[in-house]
Amino acid sequence: MSKRVSRRGLLRSAGLAAAAAGTARWAFGAPLAAPRPNILFIMADDHASHALSCYGSRINRTPNLDRLAREGIRFDNCFCTNSICAPSRAVILTGKYSHLNGVRDNSTTFDGTQQTFPKLLQAAGYQTAMIGKWHLKSEPTGFDYWDVLPGQGAYHNPAMIRLGERSRHEGYVTDIITDLTIDWLRTQRDPSRPFMLMCHHKAPHRNWQPDAGHQGMYADIEIPEPETFDDDYRTRSDAARQQKMSVLHDLTATDLKRVDPPEGLTQAELKSWKYQRYIKDYLRCIASVDDNVGRLLGYLDETSLVDNTLVVYTSDQGFYLGDHGWFDKRFMYEESLRMPLLMRCPGMIRAGAASDALVTNVDFAPTFLDVAGAGEPTDMQGRSFVPILRGRKPSDWRQAVYYHYYEYPAVHSVKRHYGIRTERYKLLHFYYDIDAWELYDLESDPHELNNVYDDPAHAATVAMLKKQLQRLQEQYGDDSFKELIGQPHPDFERVAFARVTDSEMGYDISSAQRGYALRRTPRTYTQNATLRCGLKTLRADGTRNGLICLGPNANPQSMLKCGVYIGAGEMVILYGEFGGPEADIVRKPIQADKGKVFDLRVDVDLLQGAVKLTVDREELTAPLRMDWDRIGYIGYNVSYTATAFTGIDCEGR
């Protein structure tokens, strides 16, 4: 697996020894006698750039964050590499993309034994602390002190875990995290050592519960709707239409604080009403974050820490504020891809500076290490942007950023995709249960409303970007999409999460996840169809599963799966995603040798809306429950196993 080789080489042992002794020089070009800077890293959760007034917000003011921009530098093109909470945090800690640090989605536990920038700063003599939202499942490592929220944490009276001991705090979470941060600075900071302190807020994460002091904010104000509020996704792929994060359809009663809308609203009026309920609470939470950033800046002023502390403000990713009719993040479109990034270090960063350089969250770790004079490990994939802080963008700075999102099937149903963003263009590829490309010219289409991938006038641009995309995937060692897409086989049009090989029975299909191999039927059936197949587990213990699937198209989620849960001794008819809720399964126990070949027959009557599964003469019937007008695709489905199948015989009308 290829990895980018660092420009700085291996950590220098002499430099580390000097750093630990408190004598290392640091990278800003400060006088030789200057002490190494402290680092105060403040991060919010889901704070979109376009909800900061220093980034031109039309809907709110953030005076204390604006002060940071005024007194330091604002990065106008900072992007995340995987727009979802836990993966972004893991990228920031490790300086590595998700496929290498192991956290591709929110369900994965972060491996705390791996290298992180806090551990390297500890080795360099820094005192390290983490306070607030951690959200990585494992306990924090690399910190002299930590006091974190369990999981997502609560807005009011939150529990927190301090060095392994749980306690409960009275009050509002944003205030509490700031109180604890200031208390650590006041009572536990070692003045003889530089510090790296992470102050990570829960806000403004869903479900947007403001504190009492901001509850009435915007009460008499109508928040403007974004320009793309009524985006119809006309030129986009199905990925935009099949998401589950629309303001109109997917905000819950809890999100809306269990207030019923007025009666008689049209769909457009209801959408606007829900938007106002959502966006006002979101902005109220941000107002509290801004106030508390002001408290931290005030403390630095009062204690003379201001002159030698690098203050960083960012968010783990962006967020949709009604843009394209959505809330949440995940997609590679600008509003969730873009991160706010403000940095201040008086005397070292020119006040009021702004940069359009393409930087990402994978760059944070090497930058913090560079600031501290601690060197950069060769396996970090980001690049220090300290020269940009000093006012000079290197001539060989990156021309494009790489992105890869994995969490599907999952909440919000945003398809898996990867892509590349240059200064002018963005190319995305959606995959897994879809195969769709999108291209946007950000110069002429900054809101990404016009997908021009199939426009012949952009054919040369597509070819150029695909080559650039492949180079970045090779540079970062990311071939994980090949595993997820599956290895191709000439007999199947789509293989996902699976490896298909020819065998004596017909096909051996293996998958470390939920795998599919799909092909078109010999003809399209509009009235009825009968499918016959044999299957046998390839596991020595005889457990796991084997199913055949059928449906009108090649989307596995819209297919019917019929077969055997071999280990459980059940024949099953499964609606929707494999391994889905129990309510989506019809089942019947069977007695059979787990090592035998099972004979399956599936009869589907489209006119009557009925399905019958026969396994070795045992029958299971169920309603079709799907409004199909045809059957056009069939295939195989396995999950976390290897199963052998015969070919599927089809007949019908």
Q: Is the pLDDT of residue 266 over 50?
A: yes
CATH number among 2.102.10.10, 3.40.640.10, 3.60.10.10, 2.60.120.560, domain 494-652: 2.60.120.560
**Residue 309: is it exposed, middle or buried by C-beta count within 10 angstroms (0-12/13-18/19+)?**
buried
Q: Is the pLDDT of residue 415 over 70?
A: yes
User: Does 4 or 368 have the greater pLDDT score?
Assistant: 368
Instruction: List, for residues 318-362, the tens digit of each pLDDT value.
Output: 999 999 999 999 999 999 999 999 999 998 899 999 999 999 999
Instruction: List, for residues 56-87, the tens digit of each pLDDT value.
Output: 999 999 999 999 999 999 999 999 999 999 99
Instruction: List, for residues 430-450, the tens digit of each pLDDT value.
Output: 987 788 999 999 999 999 999
Instruction: List, for residues 163-174, the tens digit of each pLDDT value.
Output: 999 999 999 999
Identify the helix (H) or strand (E) that includes residue 652.
strand 649-652
What residue ranges do the domains of the chain occupy?
Answer: 13-122+151-289+299-391+398-402, 403-483, 494-652
**For residue 580, what pLDDT is reported?**
47
Task: Say if residues 311 and 257 touch (Cβ distance below 8 Å).
Answer: no
Query: What CATH number was assigned to the domain covering residues 403-483?
Result: 3.30.1120.10
Q: Is the pLDDT of residue 12 over 70?
A: no
**For residue 10, what pLDDT is reported?**
32
- Closest residue by Cα to residue 470 from 419, 423, 417, 433: 419
What would the two tokens of residue 82 be?
A: 């995987």
**For residue 32, what pLDDT is reported?**
33
Backbone angles phi, psi at 371, to 5 degrees: -55, -40
Cβ–Cβ contacts within 10 Å for residue 1, how many?
9
Contacts of residue 365, defined as CB under 8 A and 6 or more positions apart, other chains included, come to 92, 93, 94, 95, 116, 117, 380, 382
Q: List the Cα angle 237/240/242 in 5-degree steps.
A: 105
Helix (H, G, I), strand (E, B) or coil at 314: strand
Calpha distance 98→106 (Å, rounded)? 11
Q: Is the pLDDT of residue 291 over 80?
A: yes
* DSSP of 518-557: EEEEEEEESSEEEEEEEEEE-STT--SEEEEEEESSS-GG
**For residue 201, what pLDDT is reported?**
98
Backbone angles phi, psi at 650, to 5 degrees: -125, 140
Question: Angle between the 267-302 and 173-187 helix axes, to the nearest 10 degrees?
Answer: 10
Calpha distance 148→74 (Å, rounded)? 28
Calpha distance 549→563 (Å, rounded)? 9
Instruction: List, for residues 471-494, the tens digit of each pLDDT value.
Output: 999 999 998 887 655 667 999 988
**For residue 156, what pLDDT is reported?**
98
- For the ranges 15-24, 160-169, 183-192, which has the lowest average pLDDT? 15-24
**For residue 494, what pLDDT is reported?**
84
**For residue 1, what pLDDT is reported?**
35
**For residue 484, what pLDDT is reported?**
58
**For residue 24, what pLDDT is reported?**
36
Residue that is written with structure tokens 């510090």 in the block: 195
Calpha distance 396→103 (Å, rounded)? 30
Q: Is the pLDDT of residue 536 over 90?
A: yes
List 360's β-bridge partners, or say none.
Answer: 79
Q: What is the mean pLDDT of the chain?
A: 91
Q: Is the pLDDT of residue 281 over 60?
A: yes
**For residue 583, what pLDDT is reported?**
60
Q: What architecture (CATH level 2) is domain 13-122+151-289+299-391+398-402?
A: 3-Layer(aba) Sandwich (3.40)
What would the two tokens of residue 587 be?
A: 């089942």
Calpha distance 305→295 (Å, rounded)? 14
Task: Say if residues 550 and 573 touch (Cβ distance below 8 Å).
Answer: no
pLDDT confidence bin for 568, thresholds 50/70/90: confident
Task: Say if residues 307 and 346 touch (Cβ distance below 8 Å).
Answer: yes
Q: Fill in the amino acid letter for 583.
A: A
Q: Is the pLDDT of residue 5 over 50?
A: no
- Closest residue by Cα to residue 573 from 519, 525, 637, 524: 637
Backbone angles phi, psi at 487, to 5 degrees: -80, 130
What would the two tokens of residue 117 be?
A: 């920038």
Calpha distance 464→442 (Å, rounded)? 16
- Closest residue by Cα to residue 429 from 386, 466, 387, 472: 466
Q: Percentage of residues in the chain with pLDDT exceeding 70?
A: 92
Instruction: List, for residues 292-328, the tens digit of each pLDDT value.
Output: 999 999 999 999 899 999 999 999 999 999 999 999 9
pLDDT confidence bin for 467, thresholds 50/70/90: very high
Eight-state DSSP code of residue 637: E
**For residue 347, what pLDDT is reported?**
80
Task: Say if residues 381 and 404 touch (Cβ distance below 8 Å).
Answer: no
- Closest residue by Cα to residue 338 from 209, 442, 476, 479: 442
**For residue 474, what pLDDT is reported?**
96
Helix (H, G, I), strand (E, B) or coil at 335: helix
